[in-house]
Amino acid sequence: MKSCDLDTGAGRLRRGLKDVYRVWEEASEEWNDSASRAVFEEHLEPMAPVVKTALDAVGRMRQLLQQAQRDLEG
């Protein structure tokens, strides 16, 4: 049975979030006012816990799929 590759997508998601925060940090050197803070608080800041929840779910799904594969092969 062919196994699923969840790690690639999880890695892309993790790197994407890091990239967003890196670019935001660069942008905030030039754009640092109440509007920029509002953008950060309303759009960027909420991303981290959502991504963490998604990555936790991917990790759990990986475990379940690995167990199912072992059960089928055993």
Query: Is residue 74 scored above 90 in pLDDT?
Result: no
Average pLDDT over residues 5-12: 92
Asked if the structure places residue 67 within a domain, the reply is yes
49-59 confidence digits (pLDDT tens): 999 999 999 99
Count: domains in the chain: 1
Asked if the structure places residue 49 within a domain, the reply is yes
Asked if the structure places residue 1 within a domain, the reply is no
Closest CA to 55 of 2, 4, 1, 7: 7
Question: pTM of the entire structure?
Answer: 0.80
Tell me which residue range forms the domain holding 63.
8-73
Task: Indicate the average pLDDT of the chain.
Answer: 94
Burial of 6 (0-12, 13-18, 19+ CB in 10 A): middle
Cα 70–chain centre separation? 27
Query: Is residue 43 scored above 70 in pLDDT?
Result: yes
Cα distances (angstroms) measured from residue 67 to each of 21, 50, 71:
35, 26, 6
